[in-house]
């Protein structure tokens, strides 16, 4: 079972068109924002706290070996965290949790014929199942990435100050941060927020067979979501580089 860009494009177009035609399910969207955002918060926050601590330890080792002062690397680290490491590491953490949850849920609905029952009752799986999860991802994932990046930044400040005796505020110095870095962050956040639920829903819709199909769909959803995060990271970074942002 594989997920192709064409399948994702068709899913996005069909879900959006049918939801707008039938009416946007606002209540389900709110529920999905809660499921995607709030229920993934602990994983993303905790993971980024440890990531910030590890990066600080690595930065301290390299800085003391080369220049002897950890605070010198602070502004450059802050730029890299906002433009590259923050959104991508947090995006992968989110992709694991969200990709597994959505893929398993939709696949279970598929193999137990709940989606067929929805169609027979004049419902539409694209409008009522896929679309709320896509919109929930577009809202929830960027919020998670903002919180995760902030957690990594604050962890770096605390660890560099109390563990290494450096000026922790240097790791929040915006000297090297410009509008291009902010734009890159939110471009990646929105891209990940769209790609993760699309891959997960498509994996669930493609499930066929018995209970074992749910596990296969979940695996596909997680792998596809994580790979899309990395691919989008490369594409967006390359595009911004060639456009001078």
In a domain, 115, yes or no: yes
- Which of 111, 88, 124, 25 lies closest to 237 in space, CA to CA? 88
Q: How far apart are CA 110 and CA 132, in angstroms?
A: 17
In a domain, 198, yes or no: yes
Q: Can you give the pLDDT of all 245 residues of the chain as single tens digits?
A: 567 889 999 999 999 999 999 888 889 999 999 999 999 999 999 999 999 999 888 877 777 776 666 666 677 788 889 989 999 999 999 999 999 999 999 999 999 888 889 888 888 899 999 999 999 999 999 999 999 999 999 998 888 888 777 777 777 777 778 888 899 999 999 999 999 999 999 999 988 877 788 989 999 999 999 999 999 999 999 999 888 76
In a domain, 11, yes or no: no
In a domain, 136, yes or no: yes
Q: How many CB atoms lie within 10 A of CB 72?
A: 16
Contact predicate 33/139, CB 8 Å: yes
In a domain, 9, yes or no: no
pTM of the model: 0.90
Report the domain count for the chain.
1
In a domain, 19, yes or no: no
DSSP secondary structure string for all residues of 1-47: ----HHHHHHHHHHHHHHHHHH---HHHHHHHHIIIIIHHHHHHHHH
pLDDT for position 177: 81
Domain extent for 94: 28-242
In a domain, 95, yes or no: yes
pLDDT for position 59: 76
In a domain, 186, yes or no: yes
């Amino acid at each position: 079972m594989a997920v192709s860009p064409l399948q994702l494009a068709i899913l996005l177009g069909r879900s959006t068109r049918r939801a707008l035609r039938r009416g946007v399910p606002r209540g389900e969207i709110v529920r999905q924002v809660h499921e995607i955002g709030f229920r993934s918060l602990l994983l993303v926050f905790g993971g980024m706290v440890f990531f910030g601590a590890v990066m600080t330890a690595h930065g301290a080792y390299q800085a003391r070996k080369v220049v002897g002062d950890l605070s010198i690397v602070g502004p450059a680290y802050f730029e890299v965290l906002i433009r590259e490491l923050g959104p991508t590491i947090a995006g992968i953490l989110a992709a694991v949790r969200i990709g597994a949850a959505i893929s398993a849920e939709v696949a279970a609905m598929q193999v137990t014929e709940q989606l067929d029952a929805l169609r027979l009752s004049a419902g539409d799986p694209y409008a009522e199942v896929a679309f709320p999860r896509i919109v929930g991802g577009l809202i929830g994932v960027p919020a998670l990435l903002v919180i995760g990046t902030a957690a990594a930044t604050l962890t770096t400040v605390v660890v560099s100050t109390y563990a290494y005796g450096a000026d922790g505020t240097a790791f929040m110095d915006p000297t090297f941060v410009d509008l291009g870095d902010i734009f890159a962050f939110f471009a990646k956040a929105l891209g990940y927020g769209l790609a993760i639920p699309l891959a997960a829903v498509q994996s669930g819709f493609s499930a066929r067979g018995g209970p074992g199909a749910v596990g296969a769909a979940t695996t596909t959803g997680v792998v596809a979501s994580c790979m899309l995060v990395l691919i989008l990271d490369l594409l967006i970074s390359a595009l911004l580089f060639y456009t001078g942002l």
